[in-house]
Structure 1
């Protein structure tokens, strides 16, 4: 029994070393290559592959805390009675999350998640956005032809534009997010 507990502790410790090394690569803007991650983590390649069978699986594990935080923001938005404020707040939280965590945008823009857990989390995020958008549409606040699938690429575009605009000037990130998001939301509004 003691041997099994030691092995489990080692596995948990190794997983954390892999995650720490992987996060370092992503934060530095380098691609995730499992061989390089194994060197940085000072672990064998087989150990890394045992925990994460692909770079995409590692990226999704790195993104998971940010996705879970965004889901918590979504649950708060769903409880907000002002449907316009709820939609705006959720989209704003999504932009802030993407700009703070470089793992999120590649996971959100990939055609399909590779892990079941990420698939479930992203499905819940999609459902949250669809509900928030649907409520705003039902209130006549959003153009009736606007779909959740239209909003997601626009959000990625705003995140990219904010990065370009604020590169080297992180003091203006939140103000730029608000300006660009308000411009987008003005375009999404139903024209009465």
Structure 2
């Protein structure tokens, strides 16, 4: 069942809410719907009509980055070299986590407010499992490395890049990619 398109004014309000929320997230401010409404100069009821919870708004803010990561996963699945495919997908994941502050809390959430978010996250898990299985089958990664191992390792890379860097997102991402390269060098089997 598809949702009917929003009226022009409703679409403008929704876009304004998302723009303000994007600024809040980028500035490290908590997403309180009443505060977003006040900053957007939109009624609180309008904000709640579009986004019933702060989590739903956060997922909406993160959506472009998550969708881009899904595209990168799909590209990786077409890469014939299993090592390159795995490496490129993990690099895209690190980049997403370190350049968009909306992404880590959405990935870390145990539940999703929006069905689409859950679908995207499940798709990423499935793609990663396939990429890792291909790398195992090709013998290019330590066979003892599991999907469950990679999640905390990726979180560790993101944490290290954030903690040891006072610069902007692009430098954090560059450091995260450097740490990922070091990790993957240790896991690679030639």
User: So what's the TM-score if we normalise by structure 1?
Assistant: 0.90
Deviation at 1:67, TM superposition (A): 0.6
Q: How far apart are the structure 2 equivalents of 1:180 and 1:119?
A: 28
Question: Residues 146-179 of structure 1, C-alpha deviation per residue, up to 9 Å, x if partnerless?
Answer: 2223212221221121122221366744542232
Q: How far apart are the structure 2 equivalents of 1:60 and 1:169?
A: 22
Alpha carbons of structure 1 residues 170 and 16: separation in structure 2 relative to 1, 3 Å: closer
- Assess if the C-alpha contact under 8 Å between 2:165 and 2:172 holds in 1: yes
Give 1:69's aligned residue.
68
Q: How far apart are the structure 2 equivalents of 1:168 and 1:75?
A: 31
| Matches for 1:30-179 after TM superposition, within 5 Å | 30-168=29-167, 172-179=171-178
Question: Residues 54-78 of structure 1, C-alpha deviation per residue, up to 9 Å, x if partnerless?
Answer: 0000000011100110111111111
- Assess if the C-alpha contact under 8 Å between 2:95 and 2:177 holds in 1: no
Structure 2 unaligned blocks of 5 or more: none
User: So what's the TM-score if we normalise by structure 2?
Assistant: 0.90
Question: Residues 16-35 of structure 1, C-alpha deviation per residue, up to 9 Å, x if partnerless?
Answer: 01101111110110111001
Alpha carbons of structure 1 residues 171 and 59: separation in structure 2 relative to 1, 3 Å: closer
Q: What SS does structure 2 have at the residue aligned with 1:166?
A: coil
Q: How far apart are the structure 1 equivalents of 2:171 and 2:67?
A: 26
- Assess if the C-alpha contact under 8 Å between 2:83 and 2:135 holds in 1: yes
Q: How far apart are the structure 2 equivalents of 1:26 and 1:167?
A: 17
Q: CA RMSD in A?
A: 2.0
Q: How far apart are the structure 1 equivalents of 2:143 and 2:49?
A: 47
Alpha carbons of structure 1 residues 51 and 88: separation in structure 2 relative to 1, 3 Å: same
Q: What SS does structure 1 have at the residue aligned with 2:59?
A: helix
Tell me which of the two structures has the higher relative contact order, counting C-alpha pairs closer than 8 angstroms and 6 or more residues apart: 2
Structure 1 unaligned blocks of 5 or more: none
